[in-house]
Amino acid sequence: MSDKIEQVQSEALRAVEECGSAEELQQLRIRYLGKKGSIQELMAEMKSLPKEEKPAFGQKVNLLKAAVSQAIEARQEVLSAGEMDARLAAEKIDITLPGNRTEIGTIHPLQLIRRELEDLFVGMGYTIAEGPEVELDHYNFELANIPKDHPARDMQDTFYIDPNTLLRTHTTAMQMRELEKAEGKLPIKLICPGKVYRRDDDDATHSHQFMQCEGLVVGEHITLADLKGTLEYAANVMFGGGRKIRFRPSYFPFTEPSVEVDVSCPFCNGKGCSVCKHSGWIEILGAGMVHPHVLEINGFDPEKCSGFAFGIGLERMTMLKYGIDDIRNFYTNDLRFLKTFDRFD
């Protein structure tokens, strides 16, 4: 009988030692320590032994059981350590590899200028108006004092959708909408930034789509001096302190008088350089006093109120401010160009 115990022990210990996986080890556990396992079988055989041999035999089987359990536990530890190593090796990540960079967008330079202008004018008590880019001829031209065969229509080559609908050629259309909406109520003080369209061939200084910011103030006793003060303040904020403003007579059908506005060159401080073509001045916008006829057809009494208006070209202003020499840069989405504005985010 003792031989049999030894035989089971050496067989079991060898099998455990040679076992290569947790699964196999579990099978061995069942084979030797299970309810119907070899060790249990030996216990059962104890019944047939003479009484005096039973205690010694029982003790030996218990020792066998302990030895096998211990060997299985020990093997279990070795195997799980090995499995962990294998898993670690298989799932190894090289944390020194460079990652994929997520590109973060930057604010578009035209939006930058738009926001600056909005902040500036909101700070002076203006509201911001918005309106349709697909506009009626009525607002874009008729109410702006430019009837059907007026020669001023040639100043703005237009994309027509049908004879009465077009892509707005200037934000002055919004000036007309707002005048109409006010129904004669004063005061009006607003800006309207937005896209406009003209049938121009694209080149370094022309784009068939560009941005303007319209300004409109109507109230009692509004004069050209108010316009000049407002624009001078705006020029100083946009281009740095010390800027001067100059008015040159001009013509727009919706203003009387009309002026073209120059700012003293921010590059040479008015001394004369290649940017200002040695004149010391750079043209930045068109403006004027709202034409009495425009006030009248929109329901205002030109004897009792007056107003000024201006239209700023945002591309031109941005190009001057940041020294950009080609308007197409704004619309070709070259990241190298756009990224240069990331410092303004």
Least Å distance, CB 286 to ligand DAH, is 3
**Hey, what amino acid is at 44?**
A
Least Å distance, CB 172 to ligand DAH, is 4
Among residues 156 and 329, whose Cβ is nearest to ligand DAH?
Answer: 156
Residue of minimal Cβ distance to ligand DAH: 311
SS3 256: strand
Among residues 255 and 264, whose Cβ is nearest to ligand DAH?
Answer: 255
**Cα–Cα dist 58/43, whole Å:** 7
Among residues 22 and 134, whose Cβ is nearest to ligand DAH?
Answer: 134
Least Å distance, CB 217 to ligand DAH, is 11
First-last CA distance in the chain: 89
Least Å distance, CB 200 to ligand DAH, is 12
Q: Where are the alpha helices (DSSP H) in the chain?
A: 2-18, 22-33, 38-45, 54-90, 109-123, 137-140, 172-182, 224-239, 292-297, 314-322, 335-338
Least Å distance, CB 126 to ligand DAH, is 14
SS3 56: helix
Task: Find, among 285, 264, 286, the residue nearest to 275 by Cα.
Answer: 264
Beta bridge partners of 315: none
**Cα–Cα dist 193/1, whole Å:** 104
Other CB atoms within a 10 A radius of the CB of residue 304 amount to: 10
Among residues 28 and 261, whose Cβ is nearest to ligand DAH?
Answer: 261
CA distances from 55 to 33, 73, 141, 163 (A): 20, 27, 118, 117
**Cα–Cα dist 68/244, whole Å:** 100
Among residues 31 and 246, whose Cβ is nearest to ligand DAH?
Answer: 246
Other CB atoms within a 10 A radius of the CB of residue 239 amount to: 19
Beta bridge partners of 165: 136, 162
Among residues 64 and 146, whose Cβ is nearest to ligand DAH?
Answer: 146
Helix (H) or strand (E) segment spanning residue 284: strand 281-290
Least Å distance, CB 118 to ligand DAH, is 17
SS3 189: strand
**Cα–Cα dist 179/254, whole Å:** 12
Among residues 270 and 288, whose Cβ is nearest to ligand DAH?
Answer: 288
Residues that bind ligand DAH (CB under 6 A): 170, 172, 175, 214, 252, 255, 286-288, 309-311
Least Å distance, CB 173 to ligand DAH, is 9
Among residues 243 and 291, whose Cβ is nearest to ligand DAH?
Answer: 291
Least Å distance, CB 208 to ligand DAH, is 14
